[in-house]
Chain A
Amino acid sequence: MQHKLTLGLASGVLAALLTVSSSVLAQKSATDDIAKYREMIADGNPSELYEAAGEDLWKKPAGPKNATLEKCDLGLGPGVVKGAAAQLPRYFKDTNKVQDLESRLMTCMQVLQGRDPQEMIDAPFQKGPKKDMEAIVAYVVTLSKGDKIKVSTNHPKEKEMYELGKRAFFFQGGPMDFSCASCHAEDGKRIRLQDLPNITTQKGAALGWGYWPAYRVSSGQFWTMQQRLNDCFRQQRFPFPIYGSDLTIALSMYMAKNANGGTVETPGLKR
């Protein structure tokens, strides 16, 4: 709508000036509108619906073992959910692996409930078992809201994962030569009117990592970090990243560690 406003402008210096100033105005107002919208629904982020469903799923016996997830260890001890997401990904001794929230939840579902992780990996986003996962993620991350992001690279496997993630971040491929860094390694950049956080900096990483998972207004869906990464790779024109793969965990480790000290704002609210 807004760009029609400038259609009738005549040529000349004045017109050029007007066009520049009106586009600046329009860009500002697009960002302002989103900020206003966020404010309006800040007390009613639709993520709450997912969160409530997730809490039920956490406490409801399920799977072949008919057990709940209440004893799931997300890194702070069995059953401790509060603050756990703020410190993920991390190394887990029992699996001898660095895990992000979703891969860790798959471990809990497998060990406690006897569910097959492959079913979760293969399921499309927003459907079947993934739908449950999304709700549980919403529940878990809400219980870290307001905490400081505090991810460790003290364990050698954590350090290694960070370095692998950094390398993956800069890895170019596909028919457009894109890497994560093509869009997320400079300050003040935009795709169309969408601001792009510079994930190589603490501030930018906190803006990215700190606000996902989020409710996405444009799709009317709650997106986990795995789905956010998945759609980045789609737009990068890469092949399909496998759910919970080390690649996705390494990238999360790179983002999360860079974001250390920032605030967990999840579940965020996004365009």
Chain B
Amino acid sequence: MKNIKFLLAFSSLALTMFAMQGSAIAQQANDPKFNKMMKDGFRADGIAGLDRIDQDATQKFCSDPVFASSKQGEKMREKIQKINMDGIKQPSDGKYIGDWKKGEAIAQSGRGATWTDKADTPVGGGCYNCHQIDPKEISYGNIGPSLTGYGKLRGYSQEVVTYTWNRINNSKAYNACSNMPRFAHFKLLNEQQIQDVMALLLDPASPVNQ
């Protein structure tokens, strides 16, 4: 932990140095032609407004994977992770673990947030799209790691609980360009839903941990 703080403290200084130094690999240049193509390429439809292609710093950084994964991109990676870590809120009621059965339903649903959805369509976690979770569910994706046996393998310590909470809230706090959506940052899941998904992974009674 001390190590991380040390790195974070240094990241802004190092970033300034990097910016002054310049580099062979830099974040791809702003291209007016590309910007125009993107702007002219979309129209708003229902809940999917044009603001969705206004990139934040994380999205911009991760849209250039060559730079983002390079040595030169390291300081920026750390900065992006810090921005995302700083936005994470711990549960307001101090409760981390909800109802695993509700969590399973959230993990199963990949619905919501498209232009064919209504503003009040509940957004699913879509967890099975990318992760193996309950071993009984055989229809799972593999973009993310298997989460079967999650608590059983890692234990149920407060450290594991807090890490998992943070990771579901905002995965980019640990890996700037993680493929996982930032569920709390973009309000895809609310606090209670995240508590329920937490239970699916970390309730000893959850089928994940049998």
Contact = CB atoms under 8 A, between A and B. Distances in A.
Interface stretch (A15-23, A99-107, A204-212, A262-270): A15-23
A240 B50 CA distance: 9
A101 to B, nearest CB: 18
Given A3-B136, A172-B62, A177-B181, 19 more contacts: A2-B138, A27-B138, A164-B33, A167-B28, A171-B55, A177-B62, A177-B172, A179-B63, A183-B143, A188-B142, A193-B141, A235-B114, A238-B53, A239-B42, A239-B53, A245-B40, A245-B42, A247-B41, A248-B41
Interface of B: 28, 31, 33-34, 37-38, 40-45, 48-50, 52-55, 58-60, 62-65, 113-116, 128-130, 135-143, 172, 179, 181-182, 186-188, 210
A93 interface: no
A247 B181 CA distance: 24
A66 interface: no
A238 B48 CA distance: 6
B138 A234 contact: no
Contacts of B37: 164, 168, 245-247, 250
Contacts of B33: 160, 164
Interface string A212-224: 0000000000000
B34 A241 contact: no
Contacts of B139: 3, 192-193
A195 B50 CA distance: 30
Contact of B136 (A7, A167, A238, A246): A7
A237 B48 contact: yes
A127 to B, nearest CB: 15
Contacts of B114: 234-235, 237
A-side binding surface: helix, strand, loop or mixed? mixed
27 contacts: A2-B138, A6-B138, A11-B210, A19-B135, A19-B136, A27-B138, A160-B33, A168-B38, A170-B63, A170-B64, A171-B53, A173-B55, A177-B172, A181-B65, A182-B143, A188-B142, A189-B143, A193-B141, A239-B49, A239-B52, A239-B115, A240-B115, A245-B37, A247-B38, A247-B40, A247-B42, A250-B37
A166 B12 CA distance: 31
Q: Which A-B residue pairs are the 5 nearest by beta carbons? A: A247-B41, A240-B45, A23-B138, A175-B186, A176-B181
Contacts of A237: 48, 52, 113-114
A181 B65 CA distance: 10
Contact of A170 (B40, B58, B65, B188): B65
A270 B56 CA distance: 35
Contact of B142 (A181, A189, A235, A248): A189
Interface of A: 2-3, 6-7, 11, 16, 19-20, 22-23, 26-27, 160, 164, 167-168, 170-179, 181-183, 185-186, 188-194, 233-235, 237-242, 245-248, 250
Contacts of B143: 182-183, 186, 189-191
Contacts of B172: 177
A191 B43 contact: no
A168 B36 CA distance: 12
B182 to A, nearest CB: 7
A177 B63 CA distance: 10
Contacts of A247: 37-38, 40-42
Contacts of A188: 142
B149 to A, nearest CB: 9
Nearest to A18: B135
